[in-house]
A and B are shown apart, each in its own frame.
Chain A
Amino acid sequence: MREKHEKLKVYEFLYNRLPFSDTEKQEFRAMQRMEKLEARFERELARIKTHNMSIHWHTEMLIDSDYEIVNVLIVTDYCYYLFVLHDLAGEFYINPFNILCRDNHEAALDLNRSERIYEMFRSQLIDEGKYQRPIILKYVMMNSGFRLQGRRSELFLDMKNLPYYLKAIEHSAVIRKKNHHPASTKF
């Protein structure tokens, strides 16, 4: 069962009790948005069987002086799945520099940072033995108003496909391949 982020609980407690600075108000609103996205993802997760996987919520990490949040980490015997949740809406495209841009050409998301997130996790999630479980990162676009024009990217998962993707994880968590021993899930 997912717990609300401790910092958000403190912010909620102190809201209207103490004056918030503009930065604190901004951070509070961002945390509330993130909480809503994670709650929605949790509802999708509740539709699959999760007893063969471990689920970790809300990891923050510093990458090149900027914080990144990986909202959900699902660990199965065969793979690590990282999900970064977004609420972007509107028309977007990916420019030649691998930046997700709005149709007015304003940068929205640097997709190159996904490689840095991958590297950070790869350096931490080390399995015993020769078999290293692959790490798959997905940006989940939780807003049904998100439209990607032009070049596609394997990084993105929309809300329409999320249930099927999670179902595939559920099935792959239990498939027993001949002569393949699943890695230990401790980390």
Chain B
Amino acid sequence: MEGYKKGVKCSDCHSFDMDILSSRLFMCSDCGVVVGVENQIRDYFLHYTKIIPDEVYTRRDIQDHINIGLTEYTLQKVIKSNFRKLDNRERIYYFSP
């Protein structure tokens, strides 16, 4: 999608300035709202999939979409909870929470 800005944003004030508080929490730098990492990322892909269904992702794509520096552990947890491998192809995933 041309001009589409990726990344997790605050659902209250729509700012992209999200800080990582811990492996489980994001905080919006603008309005201070605290949200769960996994919920926020799941919501992002749920909505993105409604607009662009049947999209497949590499691990790199998922990181690009989230656009926040998660630890490897957190990223792996997110992928394991929300994505499935496509036809046993290594490192290609589809969103399936």
List residues of A whose CB falls within 8 A of some B CB.
9-10, 12-19
Contacts and interface: CB of A to CB of B under 8 A. Distances in A.
Contacts of A13: 44, 47-48, 51
Contacts of A10: 47, 50-51
Contact of A15 (B6, B14, B44, B51): B14
A18 B3 contact: yes
17 contacts: A10-B47, A10-B50, A10-B51, A12-B11, A12-B14, A13-B44, A13-B47, A13-B48, A13-B51, A16-B5, A16-B9, A17-B4, A17-B5, A17-B9, A18-B1, A18-B3, A19-B3
Nearest to A19: B3
A18 B14 contact: no
B3 to A, nearest CB: 6
Most buried by A among B3, B15, B47: B47
B67 to A, nearest CB: 11
Contacts of B57: none
Contacts of B48: 13
Contacts of A9: 47
Interface of B: 1, 3-6, 9, 11, 14-16, 44, 47-48, 50-51
A16 B14 contact: yes
Nearest to B14: A16
A101 B1 CA distance: 45
Nearest to B7: A17
Given A10-B50, A16-B14, A18-B4, 12 more contacts: A9-B47, A10-B51, A13-B44, A13-B47, A13-B51, A16-B5, A16-B9, A16-B15, A17-B4, A17-B5, A17-B6, A17-B9
A165 B9 CA distance: 41
A12 B51 CA distance: 13
Contacts of B15: 16
Which 10 pairs between the two chains have the least Cβ-Cβ distance?
A: A13-B47, A17-B5, A16-B14, A15-B14, A17-B4, A18-B4, A18-B3, A16-B9, A19-B3, A9-B47
A108 to B, nearest CB: 31
Contacts of A14: 51
